[in-house]
C-alpha cells in the first residue's frame, strides 16, 4: 500500500508527514511505501527509525550509473538518499517526458543491478479501452519492461496497473469489474515471463479513495493499492493502511503482506 507524492511537499512538509508515519503502528500483513520528491528523500529517510517497515522510493531515476545527465539522478544516487524502490513508466513520464517501453526496460535493469526494487507502471489510455484493447496494450508494456530481467529477477519487481483514464484530477474512478480482467492478464503475463513465479506484487492505482479501496482490494489478483492525492495527507494515508490491514486479516492467505 503506497503513495507517490509527485511534485508536492517541501522538505519541512515531508518531515512532518514522516514524523507522524514513523510513530504510527503498521497493521499486520501490510507493506507501506512512500515515494517523496528527490529533494525530500533523504530527509524522510532520516525521520524513519531503523526498524521501520515503511519502504521509501524514488519517483524516477536514470539507467546510467553516472555521467552527463543534467537534471537526472542515477539509481546509485537514489539508493544513497534512502530509496529501496524506484518508480518507472508512469503515464505522466511517458506523456510529458518521452519515457518509452525501451527506457523503462533499461531502468528496470539498472534498478535491479543497484539492488533496488523496480516499481513498473503500466496503463492504457481511454482510446485503447474504448476499442477493447486494454489487456493486450498493458501486457505488451509489461513484457517490454521486463525484457532485460532474468526470470528469477521478475519475482522481485512490483507492477502497478494505472489506467490513464482513471488517474489525475480529471480521472474517472474505475470499477472492480472494469479492471479485474486486466489485472488477471497482467498476473498471467508476469507468471509467464517469470517462469511461473510472477512478480513481487501487483498493485492497482487510479482515483483510489477510502470509499472504493476495500472493493478494489477484493479483486483476487490485486495485492495492494498505489494511491495519489487521497494519501498525500498523512491521516489519509494511515486510513488506507487501516483499510488494508482489515482486509489482509480477513483475506485468504492473510499471512502474506499486502503492498
- Which residues are part of the catalytic machinery? 90, 162
DSSP assignment of the chain? -EEE--S---HHHHHHHHHHHHHSPPPTTB--EEE--HHHHHHHHHHS-TT---EEEES--BSSSSSS-TT--BHHHHHHTT-SEEEE--HHHHHHH---HHHHHHHHHHHHHTT-EEEEEE---HHHHHTT-HHHHHHHHHHHHTTTS-HHHHTT-EEEE--GGGSSTT--PPPHHHHHHHHHHHHHHHHHHTTT---SEEEE-SS--TTTHHHHHTSTT--EEEE-GGGSSHHHHHHHHHHHHHHHHHSTTTTSPB-
Amino acid at each position: 500500500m503506497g503513495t507517490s507524492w509527485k511534485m508536492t511537499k517541501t522538505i519541512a512538509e515531508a518531515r512532518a508527514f514522516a514524523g507522524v508515519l514513523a510513530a504510527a503502528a503498521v497493521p499486520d500483513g501490510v507493506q507501506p511505501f512512500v515515494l517523496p520528491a528527490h529533494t525530500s528523500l533523504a530527509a524522510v529517510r532520516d525521520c524513519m527509525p531503523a526498524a521501520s517497515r515503511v519502504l521509501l522510493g524514488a519517483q524516477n531515476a536514470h539507467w546510467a550509473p553516472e555521467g552527463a545527465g543534467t537534471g537526472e539522478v542515477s539509481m546509485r544516487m537514489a539508493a544513497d538518499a534512502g530509496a529501496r524502490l524506484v518508480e518507472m513508466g508512469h503515464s505522466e513520464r511517458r506523456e510529458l517526458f518521452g519515457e518509452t517501453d525501451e527506457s523503462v526496460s533499461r531502468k528496470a535493469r539498472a534498478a535491479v543491478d543497484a539492488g533496488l526494487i523496480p516499481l513498473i507502471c503500466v496503463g492504457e489510455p481511454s482510446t485503447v479501452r474504448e476499442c477493447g484493447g486494454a489487456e493486450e496494450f498493458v501486457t505488451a508494456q509489461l513484457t517490454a519492461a521486463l525484457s532485460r530481467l532474468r526470470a528469477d529477477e521478475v519475482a522481485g519487481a512490483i507492477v502497478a496497473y494505472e489506467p490513464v483514464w482513471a488517474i489525475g484530477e480529471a480521472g474517472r474512478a474505475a470499477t472492480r469489474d472494469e479492471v479485474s480482467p486486466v489485472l488477471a492478464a497482467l498476473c498471467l503475463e508476469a507468471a509467464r515471463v517469470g517462469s511461473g513465479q510472477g512478480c513481487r506484487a501487483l498493485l492497482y492505482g487510479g482515483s483510489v479513495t477510502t470509499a472504493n479501496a476495500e472493493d478494489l482490494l477484493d479483486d483476487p489478483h490485486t495485492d495492494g493499492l498505489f494511491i495519489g492525492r487521497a494519501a498525500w495527507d498523512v491521516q489519509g494515508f494511515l486510513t488506507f493502511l487501516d483499510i488494508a490491514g482489515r482486509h489482509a486479516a480477513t483475506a485468504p492467505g492473510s499471512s502474506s503482506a499486502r503492498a
